[in-house]
Amino acid sequence: MQQDMAQDTFAALWNDRVTATPDRQFLVFQDVNGTVTEWSYGEFDLVVANARALFARHGVGHGQAVHVVLKNSPIFVALWLACATSGSVFVPVDPGSSEQDLGRQIDRIKPTLGICSLAGQSTYEAAASARGINVVCFTETPDDVAVSGGAVLADLPDAGGESGAIRRRDRLAVMFTSGTTSQPKGVVLTQANYHTVAEQMAALAELREDHRWYVTLPLFHANAQYYCISPAILVGASIAITAAFSASRWIAEAQKLGVTHASLFAAPIRMILGRTPHDAPQLALEHVWFAQNLGGEHYTAFEKLVGVAPRQIYGMTETVTVVTANPVLAPRPDRIGSVVPGKRIRVTDPETGAECSGSPGVLEVAGIPGEDLFLEYFEDSEKTSLAFDARSDRDVWFSTGDLVEVCDDGALRFIGRTDDVIKVAGENVSLSDIEAAVAQAPGVLEAAVLSQPDPIRDVVPVAYVVPKDAGDPPSIAALDDWAVENLVPSARPHAWHLIAELPRTSVGKVKRFVMRDAPAAEHRE
């Protein structure tokens, strides 16, 4: 059957690329000191083979989990590809996880092998020691992946990476969602999922072998794996990875590393705009993806910095490929774009579940679990059943939980999560829209907006603002005046809180559920 053909696996995708273009450049890595190291596809395949041998030495078999707690580094990429080509299951998690978080993850996935950094060794081993799993530590530098000379991976006999033993429906990864409003869910992904995302995202980005992705978002997140590295492998393009994200050096490092493509969220873009030196070089990138709302002024400023109009997209870990994307020509910052080829959607009333038009509704995506949608939530049949509405024996509708509006031109506008839209005296107000607007106010670096009960208007928005200059923050009166000039009455914050920073997940999403406990330096009710 087609779904069982080994040549359509992600393992085969990597092996075929190595065979076809072993000398083509694959990975360029810049460490924390600015030193750059490079590998071709063939050279890196030797590293992947040694990582498979490491798995075999620790008893990791087909279908068994490898728990990986590492920052962006060559060894991270090698372990991911080793899992893909050996049939084991890759479980990457936030390297900032606490001992308690790590313990919960280990209890849930029961990995055969745990992998962490030397810097995080004590925390990881404290979580793993009582649970009886082997632990291997890495430096997160190029030394980890040396194929000789005493490195952890050096000179181990390869356990083999025959993709013919791997099937499309085999699990390849479990990725935990960000958990901004609840406990993270484990999203199960198959070999077919990664093969599908490589093909569709390469086509959407019009990716060629001479292109190079600039990967500064966390590698444990879907964005980097789905939208950048997987399609690069498909076409034989290269990737450039930095050990750490630096907003002030992002532009200069992009030029130094010779990148052509980049993918970001709105929050890092605002950080880059706020911290890039005036003498930074002018880039001439060919393509930039971005996700989450970005105000018009910020969009125009970033377009000038990078030399190309960024294309807003919408997708989730669960949807695998993006669902919508702006066109190459004349993209709009206030749209998440039109439905991409191969995706089917419907917009439903959040209360009745019936399809709706002309008003905001919940975005639902049709697909086949394990093919163009995630397979399931890890060991959680209840949440999986709630997420999937069966269409047929194979197809399902997946509810994203996000509100969108279909515009007159057929493109979609993102409004927010279902709990991000509030009714202020009967008027629908999007907290995400207010955030994007307030972030453009004079003296503001970034902002988060929450709802607050109000005896007259039911609920009202309140804003938490991070100043560009902590020593000279905007006054509350100035923010009030700006809101009167730039926001409709229902969207104007009824309180302003000046804070040092927003609590975020490692991919930039604001943790709204902890915002109410953030200490306010100044406020006005």
Spans of all domains in the chain: 425-524
Whether 274 shows a pLDDT value over 80: the answer reads yes
Least confident of 128-142, 251-265, 451-465: 451-465
Whether 525 shows a pLDDT value over 60: the answer reads no
Would you tell me how many other CB atoms lie within 10 Å of the CB of residue 292? Answer: 22
**Average pLDDT score over residue span 361-387:** 94
Q: How far apart are CA 437 and CA 293, in angstroms?
A: 9
Q: How far apart are CA 31 and CA 60, in angstroms?
A: 29
pLDDT tier, 249 (very low <50, low <70, confident <90, very high otherwise) = very high
Name the strand (E) or helix (H) holding 44: helix 41-57
Structure tokens at 77: 């990429």
pLDDT reported for residue 438: 92
Report whether 387 contacts 398 (CB < 8 A): yes
**DSSP letter, residue 197:** H
SS3 category, 83: helix
pLDDT tier, 514 (very low <50, low <70, confident <90, very high otherwise) = low
- Least Cα distance to 420 among 330, 515, 336, 356 occurs for 515
**Average pLDDT score over residue span 109-131:** 95
pLDDT tens-digit series, residues 124-158: 999 998 888 999 999 999 999 987 654 566 555 55
Q: How far apart are CA 457 and CA 446, in angstroms?
A: 26
What would the DSSP string read from start to end of 271-309?
A: HHHHH--TTPPPP--SEEEEES---HHHHHHHHHHHTS-
pLDDT reported for residue 54: 95
Q: How far apart are CA 245 and CA 453, in angstroms?
A: 38
Average pLDDT for the chain: 89
Q: Give the position of tokens 């509350």.
A: 476
- Least Cα distance to 223 among 245, 208, 248 occurs for 245
Report whether 73 contacts 51 (CB < 8 A): no
pLDDT reported for residue 1: 31
Report whether 399 contacts 319 (CB < 8 A): no
pLDDT tens-digit series, residues 171-195: 999 999 865 445 678 999 999 999 9
Fold of 425-524: GMP Synthetase; Chain A, domain 3 (3.30.300)
pLDDT reported for residue 5: 42
- Least Cα distance to 72 among 254, 221, 285 occurs for 221
**DSSP letter, residue 425:** T
**Average pLDDT score over residue span 278-288:** 95
Whether 456 shows a pLDDT value over 50: the answer reads yes
